[in-house]
């Protein structure tokens, strides 16, 4: 009798599993019904299924009048898998990934792609890179401890490793010069500023260099650095741009310095990108007041780590989502398209193992001579 009961229970479990353990396709179709993704009772119809090693792509014909809908984001919770929804050529594409991104990808797992091409991170479909010669300016946003400064250091490391004699850095480290002071003796670092006066002085030198390079380009009838075969690229890194916003507590002198900084940064954003000057504009607090419209309009690459609110995400990457990023180093990377990436991780120890050989000895007469044009502040 016990055997019969056990057999009946097993049969019931199998029956229930078939009835309630639905396939992905069935779950998606039921979700359409439950969220009202229909037009006059007409639902999307599955047109094609494509399976790969990383994902399954479901393509649907949709009734006229249906468009991409934010409510479809619920599919990620329904399927308990990463999902990317897109709408193109009148068809709905739902890409369901087989596994989630890891929470850590080492820097050395990324290939070197070229002089000014830097790794941004891993997506569900592979590695993503950014070419600073194609898109010269970048905004990097993110709340404290979520990966922004580690990312900036990684970019510096990669650019120095690939261009030890062809890259220069001007760094506005407006958190008291604590994040980048260690880099001050690298031969590639031409200035590190930690306050308003130092920042204004450093940027004045950048402006003078821009004017000189523009005169040279005009003299040879060239339009950009590539055409003129200029080998050097100059990166202006700002970490924390929010400090450049004039504040009532500032002295009149500091207000003038911040005003000068903003003027020159706007000039760099507008006219200097194609002549070899690249701006990386970092902030913890992306607001309309901090992200100057001219900088935002010309910084067509955006990287955002975790932010406090969807409003901040909207300012940083023109869409919500950064407020939902779930782990350190996870970011939204956006140019024309947008990606969820896990950015490369590199420790301080590894950074100096890779670039420490480019550090000058400040007590050496020879190094003092070679760095006579370098701006040292503080």
Point out the annotated binding site for ATP: 142-149
Residues 6+ apart with CB under 8 A from 78: 27, 28, 31
Checking DSSP bridges between strand 330-334 and strand 301-304, what pairing results, if any? antiparallel
CB 17 within 8 A of CB 31: no
Distance, CA of 53 to chain centre: 26
Q: Which of 60, 53, 72 is nearest to 125 (CA)?
A: 53
Which residues are bridge partners to 87 per DSSP? 92
Alpha helices in 21-147 (DSSP H): 24-34, 75-79
Strands of the sheet containing 91-97, edge to edge, are: 45-51, 55-61, 91-97, 83-88
In the three-class reduction of DSSP (H, G, I as helix; E, B as strand; rest coil), residue 54 is classed as coil
Query: 124-128 long-range CB contacts below 8 Å, 24 or more apart?
Result: 124/54, 124/55, 124/82, 124/84, 124/97, 124/340, 125/54, 125/55, 128/333, 128/339, 128/341
CB 340 within 8 A of CB 330: yes
Tell me which DSSP letter residue 377 carries: -
The whole-angstrom separation of Cα 353 and Cα 89 is: 50
In DSSP notation, 137-158 reads: -EEEE--TTSSHHHHHHHHHHH
Query: Can you say which residues are annotated as belonging to the binding site?
Result: 142-149
Q: Which of 315, 335, 209, 185 is nearest to 272 (CA)?
A: 209
Residue indicated by tokens 């903003």: 262
CA distances from 248 to 45, 195, 197, 252 (A): 59, 17, 17, 9
């Amino acid at each position: 009798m016990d055997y019969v009961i056990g057999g009946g229970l097993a049969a019931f479990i199998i029956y229930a599993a078939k009835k309630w353990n639905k396939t992905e396709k069935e779950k998606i179709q039921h979700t359409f019904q439950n969220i009202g993704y229909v037009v006059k009772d007409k639902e999307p119809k599955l047109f094609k299924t494509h399976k790969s090693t990383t994902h399954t792509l479901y393509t649907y014909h949709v009734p006229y009048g249906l468009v991409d809908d934010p409510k479809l984001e619920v599919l990620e919770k329904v399927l308990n898998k990463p999902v990317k929804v897109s709408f193109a050529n009148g068809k709905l594409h739902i890409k369901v990934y087989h596994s989630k991104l890891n929470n850590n990808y080492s820097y050395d797992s990324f290939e070197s792609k070229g002089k000014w091409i830097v790794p941004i991170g891993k997506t569900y479909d592979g590695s993503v890179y950014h070419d600073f010669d194609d898109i010269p300016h970048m905004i990097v946003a993110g709340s404290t401890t979520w990966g922004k400064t580690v990312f900036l250091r990684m970019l510096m490391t990669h650019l120095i490793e690939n261009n030890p004699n062809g890259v220069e850095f001007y760094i506005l480290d407006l958190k008291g010069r604590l994040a980048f002071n260690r880099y001050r003796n690298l031969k590639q670092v031409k200035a590190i500023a930690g306050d308003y006066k130092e920042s204004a002085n450093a940027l004045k030198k950048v402006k003078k260099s821009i004017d000189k390079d523009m005169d040279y380009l005009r003299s040879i009838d060239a339009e950009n650095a590539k055409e003129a075969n200029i080998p050097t690229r100059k990166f202006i890194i700002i970490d924390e741009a929010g400090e450049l916003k004039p504040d009532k507590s500032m002295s009149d002198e500091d207000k003038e310095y911040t005003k000068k900084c903003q003027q020159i940064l706007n000039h760099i954003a507008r006219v200097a990108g194609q002549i070899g000057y690249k701006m990386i504009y970092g902030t913890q607090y992306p607001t309309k007041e901090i992200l100057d419209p001219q900088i935002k309009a010309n910084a067509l690459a955006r990287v955002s780590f975790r932010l406090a609110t969807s409003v901040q995400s909207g300012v940083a990457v023109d869409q919500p989502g950064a407020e939902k990023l779930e782990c350190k180093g996870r970011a939204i990377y956006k140019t024309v398209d947008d990606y969820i990436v896990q950015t490369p991780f590199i420790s301080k120890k590894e950074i100096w193992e890779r670039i420490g050989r480019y550090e000058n000895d400040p007590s050496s007469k020879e190094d003092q001579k070679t760095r006579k044009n370098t701006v040292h502040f503080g």
